């Protein structure tokens, strides 16, 4: 050869170049083994998943709907099972695959649709199963003919009815772009996906797969680890795991395989609280099998988060990390729709980020009356929190505090029950649990205590106590028991205990807090005075009136000196003093002068006529009129107070019942005994409903009603 070689070869082609006569014979054999032209799954006749679930709990309604499609003989049915990762969509599909193939004699076909390559080879393997020839499959593999058309041609022409599962179709664009998802008169298609938006599945019947009911979740644990505990103990663990099937399966597997030192369900539950919960749950995975991210709670959602980054949606990841600082409870969407969120993601992008989370089943919308909320699963939030870069935590925690701070009234006021406040409580407490830095803990505790105050002043004393006590305990781990903010939270706890009628707990707590505040801050410190205001209420209702009066006078003097005579806190203490004095003390004049008796006018002037302190002042002034024997004046005043309480604070507010009780007494004192009994009967019913039958206030009202009914009650007589 004298010249350069002119030929070029590609792939498996060959070039022959010679100067003489040559005879070349080549034999090429394709598909000699009968396999697909290119690598494909080993089988499409069996689910490409791990172990078959030992028991499928609480999916009977879903399976019944799927059975209808097979039983009716309708063709071209497409069902979509959607839900968050780990909720058991594949397990449901696997269970129904067995039903379709065994009971209904359908040809079962299972294709993993997680990515384009797997979907393509799987669907072509399904076509081969239905009779596609080697040459056709080769042409489709090489792009010489439309692959989806070939597959659906053979599915439509199948001599046997079939049931096709497209598993893990979390990117619907893969199915849409190649037109891989179609209906056929010869079979039924079932898709499992995390994508919930109906726009991805036109013409399909959608079925949400959520977490299990409590009893069924407990039975899953007992199925897997029958000797680890009772059904009741399993239910407690199931609640800690959010009743997520994947987490239940891993936990049950862990308990079942503890041989040398077996664990009980109670021990497992305690360790979930003490240890890194996500790591403990994932220890239930079979260490001898190949790790699959979808089979570990610590990684199952990372697939979706990675896709957000790849698709240019980092704001969705940022929003989920922000939500992971909060609780797995409904969060009002209004909390997220504030400029304070800008430190984590632009406010203008919040809508897009939330939509992405909803579309991928990473959160869901729930309507609670007029409130629309986002609700995310606890195991998901724990997983995201554990994987959040430590460098991001300060900004995330600070942003969460600012958002919650903006949602709580700056100056909590008495008023009707506000459901939004109770919804905020678990999120503030969750943030305290996740915050370890002192300044961040202090900021979160300020919000928690103010929220507890707001709950208290709407009459939700139980939520106020739960919020304040939990917040104080959580913050004390970082700040210490004698930190100013921790002491204030404990004081708020004591005041709520008083309203709940738990005097035996409230008094020592408030005494202990006040003693510490006196030692650290002094008698005239605003926090010390606040605690004194709360303590005197307990003392006055606990048979220690004289000590209460002495303490209250010191609080009035201290607040006047520190805050001025017309500050709301000062006026509130003076109003309390008006309610504490006896008829003799009032009449004496030395104890109560015209200034004290004119407190209602001062409150109206400086706070407004509808301020809660003003209304309370008028209420207490009516009581003074009553104990002085001015029954008609007291009746006229308290009747108007009841109307104004209901108008301003709502008919269910606790003060309404207290005012009606006084009204029942004034009516009876004026000779209207039947009206007094009717009013008092309504008070007893209201207090039993709101406070419970054993509350001190309820017992006092019940005793008064019996006295009114029996005619034994006598009104107070004017002092001589």
- Residue-wise pLDDT for 573-590, tens only, equals 999 988 888 877 777 654
DSSP line for 543-557: T-HHHHHHHHHHHHH
Alpha-carbon gap, residue 365 to 375, rounded angstroms: 6
CATH number of the domain encompassing residue 639: 1.25.40.10
Residue 138 domain-assigned (yes or no): yes
Total-model pTM: 0.78
Domain count, the chain: 4
Which of the listed ranges 141-155, 243-257, 392-406 does the model predict with the highest average pLDDT?
392-406
Q: Across-strand partners of 364?
A: 375
DSSP structural state of residue 413: -
- Same domain for 64 and 131, yes or no, is yes
- Same domain for 270 and 156, yes or no, is no
| pLDDT at 20 > cutoff 90 | no
- Same domain for 139 and 196, yes or no, is yes
- Residue-wise pLDDT for 445-471, tens only, equals 999 999 999 999 999 999 999 999 999
What number is the average pLDDT over the span 625-647? 94
Confirm if 452 and 468 have CB atoms less than 8 A apart. Answer: yes
DSSP structural state of residue 184: B
pLDDT of residue 143: 81
Which of the listed ranges 216-230, 282-296, 300-314, 598-612 does the model predict with the highest average pLDDT?
598-612
Domain hosting residue 265, numbered range: 214-295
Tokens 């399904």 label which residue? 126
Residue 655 domain-assigned (yes or no): yes
Q: Last residue of some domain: 407, 429, 460?
A: 407
- Same domain for 718 and 685, yes or no, is yes
Which residues in 431-560 belong to E strands, given as ranges? none
pLDDT of residue 242: 86
- Same domain for 185 and 263, yes or no, is no
pLDDT of residue 15: 46
- Same domain for 197 and 261, yes or no, is no
Structure-model confidence comparison of residues 68 and 285, the more confident one: 68
Residue 426 domain-assigned (yes or no): no
Q: Name the band, by pLDDT with cuts 50, 70 and 90, for residue 685.
A: very high
- Same domain for 103 and 135, yes or no, is yes
DSSP line for 238-290: HHHTTT-HHHHHHHHHHHHT--SSPPPHHHHHHHHHHS-HHHHHHTTS-TTSP
Alpha-carbon gap, residue 335 to 404, rounded angstroms: 7
- Same domain for 223 and 196, yes or no, is no
Least confident of 90-99, 245-254, 607-616, 644-653: 245-254
Alpha-carbon gap, residue 678 to 695, rounded angstroms: 21
Q: In what side-by-side order are the strands of the sheet with 331-332?
A: 331-332, 371-375, 364-368
DSSP structural state of residue 719: P
- Same domain for 287 and 312, yes or no, is no
Instruction: Provide the angle, in degrees to the nearest 10, between the axes of the packed helices 526-541 and 484-499.
Output: 20
pLDDT of residue 514: 98
Phi-psi group of 564: left, alpha or beta (phi > 0 → left; psi -120 to 50 → alpha; rest → beta) = left
Q: Last residue of some domain: 262, 295, 328?
A: 295
The CA–CA distances, whole Å, from 417 to 544, 649, 672 equal: 32, 9, 33
Residue 392 domain-assigned (yes or no): yes
- Same domain for 177 and 309, yes or no, is no
Residue 702 domain-assigned (yes or no): yes
| pLDDT at 637 > cutoff 90 | yes
CATH number of the domain encompassing residue 110: 3.40.50.300
pLDDT of residue 268: 87
Structure-model confidence comparison of residues 592 and 275, the more confident one: 275
- Residue-wise pLDDT for 415-440, tens only, equals 888 889 999 999 999 999 999 899 99
Residue 548 domain-assigned (yes or no): no
Instruction: Pick the closest to residue 244 from 428, 91, 60 (CA basis).
Output: 91
Least confident of 19-28, 115-124, 639-648: 19-28
- Residue-wise pLDDT for 251-295, tens only, equals 888 888 877 778 898 988 888 887 677 777 777 765 434 455 556
Residue 113 domain-assigned (yes or no): yes
What number is the average pLDDT over the span 105-120? 89
| pLDDT at 178 > cutoff 80 | no
pLDDT of residue 591: 47
What number is the average pLDDT over the span 10-19? 46
What number is the average pLDDT over the span 84-106? 88
Structure-model confidence comparison of residues 75 and 690, the more confident one: 690
pLDDT of residue 287: 44
pLDDT of residue 720: 61
| pLDDT at 557 > cutoff 90 | yes
- Same domain for 305 and 257, yes or no, is no
| pLDDT at 25 > cutoff 70 | no
Alpha-carbon gap, residue 512 to 518, rounded angstroms: 10
Q: Name the band, by pLDDT with cuts 50, 70 and 90, for residue 360.
A: confident
Q: Across-strand partners of 368?
A: 371
Residue 442 domain-assigned (yes or no): no
Q: Last residue of some domain: 233, 268, 295?
A: 295
CATH number of the domain encompassing residue 345: 1.10.10
- Same domain for 64 and 201, yes or no, is yes
Alpha-carbon gap, residue 100 to 93, rounded angstroms: 10
Q: Kindly provide the b/e burial profile for residues 63-80, where b requires at least 16 CB atoms within 10 angstroms of the residue's own CB.
A: eeebeebbeeeeeebbbb
pLDDT of residue 16: 46
pLDDT of residue 22: 46
């Amino acid at each position: 050869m004298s010249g350069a070689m002119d030929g070029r070869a590609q792939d498996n082609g060959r070039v022959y170049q010679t100067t003489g006569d040559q005879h070349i014979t080549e034999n090429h054999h394709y598909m000699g083994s009968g396999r697909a032209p290119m690598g494909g799954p080993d089988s499409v006749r069996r689910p490409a998943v791990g172990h078959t679930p030992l028991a499928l709990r609480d999916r009977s309604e879903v399976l019944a709907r799927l059975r209808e499609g097979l039983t009716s003989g309708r063709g071209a049915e497409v069902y979509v099972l959607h839900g968050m990762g780990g909720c058991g969509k594949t397990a449901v599909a696997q269970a129904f695959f067995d039903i379709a193939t065994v009971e209904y004699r359908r040809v079962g076909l299972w294709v993993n649709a997680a990515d384009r390559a797997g979907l393509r080879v799987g669907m072509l393997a399904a076509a081969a199963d239905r009779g596609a020839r080697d040459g056709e499959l080769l042409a489709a593999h090489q792009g010489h003919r439309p692959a989806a058309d070939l597959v659906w041609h053979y599915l439509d022409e199948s001599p046997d009815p079939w049931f096709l599962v497209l598993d893990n179709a979390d990117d619907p664009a893969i199915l849409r772009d190649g037109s891989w998802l179609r209906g056929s008169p010869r079979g039924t298609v079932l898709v499992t996906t995390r994508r919930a938006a109906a726009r991805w599945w036109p013409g399909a019947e959608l079925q949400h797969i959520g977490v299990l009911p409590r009893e069924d979740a407990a039975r899953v644990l007992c199925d897997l680890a029958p000797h680890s505990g009772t059904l009741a103990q399993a239910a407690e663990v199931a609640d800690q795991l959010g009743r997520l099937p994947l987490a239940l399966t891993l936990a049950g597997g862990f308990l079942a395989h503890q041989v040398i030192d077996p664990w009980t369900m109670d021990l497992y539950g305690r360790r979930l609280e003490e240890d890194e919960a996500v790591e403990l749950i994932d220890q239930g995975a079979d260490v001898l099998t190949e790790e699959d991210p979808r089979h570990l709670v610590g990684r199952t959602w990372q697939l979706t988060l990675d896709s957000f980054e790849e698709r240019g949606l980092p704001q969705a990841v940022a929003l989920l990390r922000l939500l992971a600082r909060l609780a797995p409870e409904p969060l009002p969407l209004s909390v997220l729709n504030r400029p304070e969120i800008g430190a984590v993601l632009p406010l203008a992008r919040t809508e897009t980020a939330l939509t992405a989370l909803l579309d991928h089943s990473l959160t869901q919308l729930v309507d609670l009356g007029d409130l629309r909320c986002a609700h995310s699963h606890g195991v998901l939030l724990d997983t995201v929190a554990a994987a959040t870069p430590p460098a991001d935590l300060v900004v995330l925690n600070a942003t969460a505090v600012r958002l919650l701070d903006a949602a709580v009234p700056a100056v909590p006021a008495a008023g009707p029950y506000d459901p939004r406040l109770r919804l905020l409580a678990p999120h503030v407490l969750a943030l305290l649990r996740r915050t370890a830095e002192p300044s961040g803990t202090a900021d979160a505790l300020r919000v928690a205590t103010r929220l507890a105050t707001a709950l208290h002043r709407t009459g939700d004393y139980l939520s106020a106590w739960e919020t304040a006590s939990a917040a104080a305990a959580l913050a004390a781990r970082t700040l210490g028991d004698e930190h100013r903010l921790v002491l204030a939270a404990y004081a708020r706890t004591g005041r709520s205990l008083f309203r709940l009628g738990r005097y035996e707990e409230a008094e020592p707590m408030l005494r202990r807090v006040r003693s510490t505040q006196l030692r650290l801050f002094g008698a005239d410190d605003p926090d010390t005075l606040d605690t004194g205001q709360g303590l005197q209420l307990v003392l006055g209702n606990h048979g220690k009136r004289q000590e209460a009066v002495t303490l209250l006078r010191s609080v009035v003097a201290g607040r006047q000196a520190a805050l001025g005579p017309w500050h709301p806190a000062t006026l509130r203490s003076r109003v309390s003093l008006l309610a504490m004095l006896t008829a003799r003390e009032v009449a004496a004049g030395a104890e109560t002068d015209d200034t004290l008796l004119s407190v209602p006018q001062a409150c109206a002037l400086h706070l407004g006529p509808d301020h809660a302190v003003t209304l309370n002042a008028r209420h207490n002034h009516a009581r003074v009129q009553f104990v002085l024997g001015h029954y008609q004046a007291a009746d006229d005043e308290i009747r108007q107070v009841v109307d104004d309480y209901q108008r301003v604070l709502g008919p269910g507010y606790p003060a309404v019942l207290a005012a009606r009780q006084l009204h029942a007494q004034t009516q009876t004192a004026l000779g209207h005994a039947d009206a007094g009994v009717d009013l008092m009967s309504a008070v007893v019913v209201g207090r039993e409903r709101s406070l419970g039958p054993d509350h001190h206030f309820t017992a006092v009202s019940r005793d008064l009603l019996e006295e009114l009914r029996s005619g034994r009650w006598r009104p107070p007589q004017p002092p001589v």
